[in-house]
Amino acid sequence: MIDEKEVQHVARLARLRLSPEELRRFASQLSRIIDYINQLNELDTSTVEPMSHPLDLTNVFREDAVTPSLPRDEALANAPEQRHGFFVVPPVLEWEPPEG
C-alpha cells in the first residue's frame, strides 16, 4: 500500500508538482502495481547476485585525446532562456518550507 502522503513525498523527490486529483489516482494505481510487484517476494534470492546489466563490462576507457565538442551556440540553441552564452535559471537560493 502507498498512501497519498507517501505519493506526495515521492513526487517531491521526483520534482513533480502533482495535482490533488493526480495524488489520489496515483495512490490507488501505484498501490495496485506495487502489490503486483510484491509477488517477487515469493522467490528466495538470498544467494543470487544482483544483475545490473546484461553485459559483463568493467570500465570502458577511451584515449585521452582532445576531440571537437559541440559549439556553444549549438549547445544553447534549445535552451528555454539564455544570455551572454549562458543558460539562465531562476534564483537558486530560495526559502523552501520543510516537508510535512
Partner 1 sequence: MKPVHEQTASELLEAQEEGELSAVEIVQACLDRIGRLDDKVHALLSVRGDEALERAGSIDERRRRGEPLGALAGLPVALKDNMCTVGWETTCASRILENFKPPYNAAVVEKLHAADAVVIGKTNMDEFAFGSSTETSAFFVTRNPWDPDRVPGGSSGGSAAALAARFVPLAVGSSTGGSVRQPAGFCGVMGLKPTYGRVSRYGLIAFGSSLDQVSPLARDARDMARLTGVLAGHDPRDSTSIDAPVPDYLADLDEVPRQMKLGVPAEYFGEGLSPDVEKRITEAVETFRTLGFRIVEIRLPHTKYAIASYYVVATAEASSNLARFDGVHYGHRTAQKAGLVDMYSLSREEGFGDEAKRRIMLGTYALSSGYYDAYYLKALKVRRLLKEDFDRAWEKVDAVLCPTSPTTAFRVGERVDDPLAMYLSDIFTVPANMAGIPGISIPCGFDRDGLPVGLQIMAPNLQESRLFRIARAFQTVTDFHLSRPDL
CB of 87 to partner 1, least distance (A): 5
The only residue of 21, 62, 65, 84 in contact with partner 1, by rule CB under 8 A:
62
Asked whether the beta carbons of 63 and 57 are under 8 A apart, the reply is: no
Q: Does 28 bind partner 1 (CB under 8 A)?
A: no
In DSSP notation, 41-77 reads: GGS--TTPPP---SS----------------HHHHHT
* CA–CA distance, 53 with 71 (Å, rounded to integer): 33
Q: Closest separation between CB of residue 73 and partner 1, Å?
A: 10
**Chain position carrying cell 505519493:** 7
Distance of alpha carbon 14 from alpha carbon 71, whole angstroms = 31
Q: How far is the CB of 99 from partner 1 (least distance, A)?
A: 12
Instruction: Choose which of 20, 21, 40, 84 interacts with partner 1 (CB under 8 A).
Output: 40
Residues contributing to the site for partner 1 (CB under 8 A): 2, 6-7, 10-11, 13-19, 22, 26, 29-30, 32-34, 36-43, 45, 48-55, 57, 60, 62, 70, 74-75, 77-81, 87, 89-92, 94, 96
